[in-house]
């Protein structure tokens, strides 16, 4: 099997760290307790391990292909997507009213990790469809919801996000696609969109494009952007499909990775105008799109975790199998599998610790999302929402940046074989590189962290989280074992570094924005490292407690718990340890970032 879903670790994170029992007390999630989670995850694992994972290498070798405006996806994708839809997986987190399963994000996020581990390219189609569903749930009219949501949720149709234009990448103020109001209340859309993931394909009966465009006469900049539904095929009042709309895929890109996922250039309105329906109100498009983007940003963070997990599994398998050189400790008389060599262990542990740390961080954030939406008390909703929003740029930014390092180590473990495409490790390295770019580059995430998430509330949310981390340190320090003591020390140093940086960012934000933003990505990396390290520290205590109280059993057996302790200790010793240097670079090195004269580059 090329991929085995880490169901044990996912359940541990949900139960011991994210508080799934609390989630299951929220109104609407009463059936979503640990037993449901286990059943769902095991069923999800079967589909992804058996059907979707084997298509990953195929997709790299036989990518989506464009001909005369049509895109043919990799052999096997269409049938696998049919199974995915019929299994109810597209609707996992979506409302029961529209045919979904209504499960919490805490469970949905784990399932999302699985499909992304199985096949990053394939998983992008449901990922984007999720975004379209979220946007319509939030801002669509009841009629739009009734017309589009059931088909999207069933997987019969798919969705896209149309933001980027050649001159408008990170800078959506420069969007030029225009929308002309028609007497019947519809709009005609004209323009070119690029980088549209699954903008054209053969896996579904219809594609629901959500498109940012400017209504004639709208204000300049981001305050003049509206959101439109532009279906590939018109949808009649009775729900049946009509004529083709005036949107055409003129080409797809030749990319470094995720080759099976078609990245389309879409041309709207070359034959009189594509018919679009306004979503919500005019000029509020960016606001709605942010709903999709926030869901998508979190999901892309999960993609980072997913590809890291897959790269880790492949590297472990190779390291167990490949025999080369005698161990330095002389533990075997001759050459041994390379997993016996300390540096191979260091690489594998680095991959494992990053992946487990980010998974824990993401699932804890997901539980906050669930509470933010479903908690009966307003205070709890507000606090959880603030926590979740702080975590989104970290889940996105840190988990994807770490995936670059993890997939690079994955190639490295394979030595020369890693560089040969047939081996498969290189695909993860190529695929992962998009994750730090799309749905907002790491710098865009860091701008969000610095601006909306830190300086806007004067650092209050950041400091509140730091106080929770300090409580974890105290609980660790109260334990007598060396692991807890060591982790407590590293966690405290990282938390203090984080607080220093928060103070610096808040102080500089207005006065000297160049200094604050010079450290934005290092701040994001420090914060992500701290949050993942914090969850690993909590995991260490939970594992110790389960071992001591004999509560281990079922998925969390003693071997698993001991491994969790070792991995948490490794995280603190080798990853969390880097945090203080980031503080020094940000606080003391801000000026040297912009000191070089522009003409000297």
Q: Does 558 bind a second copy (CB under 8 A)?
A: no
- CB-nearer residue toward a second copy: 411 or 469: 411
**H or E segment and range at residue 384:** helix 378-413
| Alpha carbon of residue 478 to chain centroid | 35
Query: Torsion angle of alpha carbons 84, 398, 443, 456, nearest 10°?
Result: 100
- Judged by CB under 8 A, which of 1, 146, 548, 581 binds a second copy? 581
Site size for a second copy, by CB under 8 A? Answer: 94
Restricting to residues 276-335, name those near a second copy by CB under 8 A: 316, 319-320, 323-325, 328-329, 335
Q: Does 517 bind a second copy (CB under 8 A)?
A: yes
Radius of gyration of the chain (CA): 24
Q: Does 415 bind a second copy (CB under 8 A)?
A: yes
Of 494, 480, 481, nearest in space to 566 by CA: 481
- CB-nearer residue toward a second copy: 98 or 438: 438
Three-state DSSP state, 6? coil
148: which 2 tokens?
Answer: 């589009």
Restricting to residues 123-162, name those near a second copy by CB under 8 A: none
Bridge partners (DSSP) of residue 505 are none
- CB-nearer residue toward a second copy: 425 or 542: 425
Distance CA 395, CA 570 (A): 20
CB of 143 to a second copy, least distance (A): 35
The pair phi, psi for residue 113, each rounded to 5°, is -60, -45
- CB-nearer residue toward a second copy: 170 or 385: 170
- CB-nearer residue toward a second copy: 81 or 318: 318
CA-to-CA dists, residue 294 to 225, 282, 392, 454, angstroms: 18, 21, 7, 17
Helix 520-548 and helix 342-374, axial crossing angle in degrees, nearest 10? 90
Distance CA 100, CA 531 (A): 32
CB of 136 to a second copy, least distance (A): 25
Three-state DSSP state, 136? helix
Q: Which stretch binds a second copy (CB under 8 A): 45-53, 92-100, 230-238, 348-356?
A: 348-356
Restricting to residues 422-451, name those near a second copy by CB under 8 A: 422, 426, 429-430, 433-434, 436-438, 441-443, 446-447
- CB-nearer residue toward a second copy: 281 or 419: 419
Query: How many CB atoms lie under 10 A from the CB of residue 382?
Result: 12
Q: Does 25 bind a second copy (CB under 8 A)?
A: no
Q: Give catalytic residues, as residue numbers.
A: 439
Between β-strands 274-279 and 226-231, what pairing exists: parallel, antiparallel or unpaired?
antiparallel
Q: What is the largest CA-CA distance in the chain?
A: 85
Distance CA 113, CA 528 (A): 18
Distance CA 456, CA 460 (A): 9
Three-state DSSP state, 106? helix
CB of 347 to a second copy, least distance (A): 8
CB of 60 to a second copy, least distance (A): 11
Q: Does 578 bind a second copy (CB under 8 A)?
A: yes
396: which 2 tokens?
Answer: 């996105």
CB of 534 to a second copy, least distance (A): 18
Restricting to residues 54-73, name those near a second copy by CB under 8 A: none
- Mind giving me the DSSP string for 485-509? HHHHHHHHHHHHHHHHHHHHHHHHH
- CB-nearer residue toward a second copy: 235 or 526: 526
CB of 342 to a second copy, least distance (A): 4
Q: Which residues of 82-101 are buried (b: 16+ CB within 10 A; e: fewer)?
A: eebbebbbbbbbbbeebbbb
Q: Does 542 bind a second copy (CB under 8 A)?
A: no
CB of 296 to a second copy, least distance (A): 15
Q: Which stretch binds a second copy (CB under 8 A): 65-73, 236-244, 345-353, 462-470?
A: 345-353
- CB-nearer residue toward a second copy: 9 or 130: 9
Restricting to residues 228-287, name those near a second copy by CB under 8 A: 253-257
- CB-nearer residue toward a second copy: 416 or 553: 416
Distance CA 80, CA 580 (A): 47
- Judged by CB under 8 A, which of 376, 458, 513, 554 binds a second copy? 513
Q: Which residues of 201-232 are buried (b: 16+ CB within 10 A; e: fewer)?
A: bebbebbbbbbbbbbeebeeebebbbbbbbbb
CB of 221 to a second copy, least distance (A): 10
Distance CA 303, CA 310 (A): 11
Restricting to residues 163-202, name those near a second copy by CB under 8 A: 164, 167, 169-171, 173-174, 195
Q: Which stretch binds a second copy (CB under 8 A): 133-141, 289-297, 390-398, 514-522?
A: 514-522
CB of 160 to a second copy, least distance (A): 15
Q: Which stretch binds a second copy (CB under 8 A): 287-295, 464-472, 540-548, 555-563?
A: 555-563
Q: Does 486 bind a second copy (CB under 8 A)?
A: yes
């Amino acid at each position: 099997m090329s991929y085995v879903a880490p169901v044990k670790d996912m359940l541990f994170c949900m139960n011991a760290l994210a508080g799934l029992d609390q989630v299951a007390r929220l109104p609407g999630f009463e059936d979503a307790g640990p037993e449901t989670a286990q059943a769902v995850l095991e069923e999800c694992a079967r589909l992804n391990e058996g059907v979707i994972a084997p298509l990953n290498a195929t997709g790299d070798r036989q990518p989506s292909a464009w001909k005369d405006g049509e895109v043919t996806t990799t052999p096997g994708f269409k049938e696998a997507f049919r199974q995915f839809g019929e299994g109810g997986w597209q609707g996992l987190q979506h409302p029961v009213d529209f045919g979904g399963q209504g499960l919490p994000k805490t469970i949905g996020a784990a399932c999302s990790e699985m499909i992304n581990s199985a096949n990053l390219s394939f998983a992008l189609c449901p990922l984007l469809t999720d975004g379209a569903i979220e946007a319509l749930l939030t801002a669509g009219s009841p009629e739009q919801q009734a017309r589009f949501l059931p088909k999207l949720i069933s997987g019969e149709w798919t969705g896209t996000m149309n933001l980027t234009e050649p001159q408008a990448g990170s800078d959506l103020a420069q969007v030029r696609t225009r929308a002309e109001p028609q007497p019947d209340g519809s709009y005609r859309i004209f323009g070119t969109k690029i980088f549209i993931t699954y903008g054209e394909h053969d896996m579904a009966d219809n594609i629901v494009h959500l498109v940012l465009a400017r209504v004639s006469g709208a204000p300049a900049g981001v305050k003049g952007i509206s959101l439109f539904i532009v279906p590939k095929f018109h949808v009649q009042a009775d729900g049946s499909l009509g004529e083709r709309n005036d949107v055409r895929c003129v080409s797809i890109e030749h990319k470094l990775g995720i080759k099976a996922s078609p990245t389309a250039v879409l041309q709207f309105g070359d034959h009189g105008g594509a018919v679009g329906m306004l979503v919500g109100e005019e000029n509020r498009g960016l606001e709605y799109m942010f709903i999709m983007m926030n869901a998508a940003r979190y999901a892309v963070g999960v993609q980072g975790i997913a590809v890291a997990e897959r790269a880790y599994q492949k590297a472990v398998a190779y390291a167990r199998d490949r025999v080369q050189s005698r161990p330095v400790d002389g533990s075997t008389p001759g050459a041994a599998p390379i997993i016996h060599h300390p540096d191979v262990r260091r690489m594998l542990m680095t991959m494992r610790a990053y992946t487990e740390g980010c998974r824990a961080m993401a699932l804890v954030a997901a539980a906050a999302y669930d509470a933010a939406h479903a908690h009966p008390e307003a205070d709890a909703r507000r606090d959880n929402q603030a926590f979740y929003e702080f975590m989104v740029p970290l889940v996105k930014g840190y988990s994807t940046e770490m995936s670059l390092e993890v997939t690079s180590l994955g190639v490295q473990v394979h030595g020369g074989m890693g560089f040969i495409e047939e081996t498969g490790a290189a695909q993860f390295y190529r695929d992962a590189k998009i994750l730090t770019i799309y749905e907002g580059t790491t710098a865009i995430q860091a701008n969000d962290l610095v601006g909306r998430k830190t300086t806007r509330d004067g650092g209050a949310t950041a400091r509140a989280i730091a106080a929770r981390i300090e409580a974890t340190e105290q609980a660790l320090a109260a334990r007598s074992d060396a692991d807890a003591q060591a982790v407590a020390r590293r966690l405290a140093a990282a938390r203090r570094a984080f607080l220093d940086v928060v103070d610096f960012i808040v102080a500089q934000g207005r006065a000297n924005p160049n200094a604050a933003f010079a450290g934005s990505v290092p701040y994001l990396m420090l914060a992500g490292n701290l949050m993942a390290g914090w969850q690993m520290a909590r995991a260490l205590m939970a594992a110790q407690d389960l071992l001591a109280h004999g509560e281990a059993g079922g998925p969390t057996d003693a071997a698993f718990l001991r491994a969790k302790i070792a991995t948490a200790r490794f995280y603190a010793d080798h990853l969390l340890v880097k945090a203080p240097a980031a503080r020094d670079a940000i606080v003391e090195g801000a000026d040297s970032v912009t000191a070089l004269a522009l003409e000297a580059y």
